[in-house]
Amino acid sequence: MTRRIALSIFFFTLTLIGFGQRINTREEYIEKYAPLAVSEMIRTGVPASITLAQACLESGDGNSELSVKSNNHFGIKCKSSWRGKRVYHDDDAKGECFRKYRSVEASFVDHSDFLTLNSRYAGLFTLDLTDYKGWARGLKKAGYATNPHYANLLIKIIEDHKLFLYDEGLDKSQIARIQQSNQPVDGRNLINPYQARKVVLRNDLRSIVVKKGDTFQKIAQEFDLKEWEIYAYNDYQKGQQPQENEILYVEPKHRKAKKSHKTHRLESDDTMHFISQRYGVKLKRLYRLNRLKPGERPKVGSFVYLRKKKPRR
């Protein structure tokens, strides 16, 4: 979030007060959307504390003009891959394009998908679910926001409101008791119900992010699979090994992407295999959808079709 967004939140809040519209407090905002953040954590592996802290910061606790008018609670800009509705808002530059959502829930879901499907954030998913400081610093390093203090702002929100508790799998009554307590809580002493390896749903398929030292043999043993299954599920030849921070599936990929992902605009360093892994689509099927021979690559800037066959010229 930039200084300009912070100022716009301030002046828009004054406008709301002037028209008599009720302003959310941070505590109310967290209580309202914590279940949604936890649900997204279970679905994708993005810590609930990070989701809530970003939402508080980017949306001004749901009071910013962008969040009120467009349900955009994370300041996500359109980008080339966005096919939904758009709004234009002054940010780093005048009249920048931002995503518009039908509901706040849709904004939370898109935020999770934005992180899980973007290769620049892949390294975050190798961190422990409870490492909120690592996630906050990783988001800043990956370029989520231009504010040089972005990571520290997120960490302060998480620690001030004990949001790390939502990452620990505690139920609502346990969280409420600790939130109301004046005693400090050491999150490391709480029981972490999650395994060391996070399994994230992509295209409704179970996937992992490769850690340093991982091999196909090791991953196959961990998930009680045959080694050839890991190769087949991820369109690899026998003898190859995965790369650190790469997405791998532990079940067969689908023949098409989710409805929300119809096409992908090819960037300079994208490969067809990368796109296949990013969206959970079989590589051979991806070639057929785009009328390509195996090994061919579309031109940079062109669209790769993910659900329907590319129209003939």
pLDDT value, residue 177: 57
pLDDT value, residue 281: 96
Please state the rounded mean pLDDT for residues 204-213: 86
pLDDT value, residue 29: 95
pLDDT value, residue 170: 59
- Does the pTM surpass 0.75? The reply is no
- Residue scoring higher pLDDT (187 or 276): 276
Band (pLDDT 50/70/90 cuts) for residue 20 is very low
| 46 CB burial (10 A radius; 0-12, 13-18, 19+) | buried
Mean pLDDT lowest for which of 55-64, 79-88, 185-194?
Answer: 185-194
- Residue scoring higher pLDDT (267 or 186): 267
Q: Catalogue all structural domains in the chain, each as residue range(s) with its CATH number.
A: 3-189 (1.10.530.10), 200-249 (3.10.350.10), 263-305 (3.10.350)
Average pLDDT, the chain: 83
Does residue 67 have a pLDDT over 50? yes
- Residue scoring higher pLDDT (12 or 62): 62
Does residue 95 have a pLDDT over 90? no
pLDDT value, residue 174: 57
Please state the rounded mean pLDDT for residues 90-95: 71
pLDDT value, residue 231: 95
pLDDT value, residue 236: 94
Does residue 14 have a pLDDT over 60? no
3-state secondary structure the chain: CCHHHHHHHHHHHHHHHHCCCCCCCHHHHHHHHHHHHHHHHHHHCCCHHHHHHHHHHHHCCCCCHHHHHHCCCCCCECCCCCCCCEEEECCCCCCEEEECCCCHHHHHHHHHHHHHCCHHHHHHHHCCCCCHHHHHHHHHHCCCCCCCCHHHHHHHHHHHCCHHHHHHCCCHHHHHHHHHCCCCCCHHHCCCCCCCCCCEEECCEEEEECCCCCCHHHHHHHCCCCHHHHHHHCCCCCCCCCCCCCEEECCCCECCCCCCCCEEECCCCCCHHHHHHHHCECHHHHHHHCCCCCCCCCCCCCEEECCCCCCCC
Please state the rounded mean pLDDT for residues 102-124: 90
- Determine the Cα–Cα distance for residues 304 and 298; give it in Å rounded to an integer: 8
**Tokens describing residue 151:** 């990571």
Band (pLDDT 50/70/90 cuts) for residue 203 is confident
Does residue 24 have a pLDDT over 90? no
Give per-residue pLDDT as tens, 210-219: 888 899 999 9
- Residue scoring higher pLDDT (139 or 197): 139
pLDDT value, residue 268: 83
pLDDT value, residue 45: 86
Does residue 2 have a pLDDT over 60? no
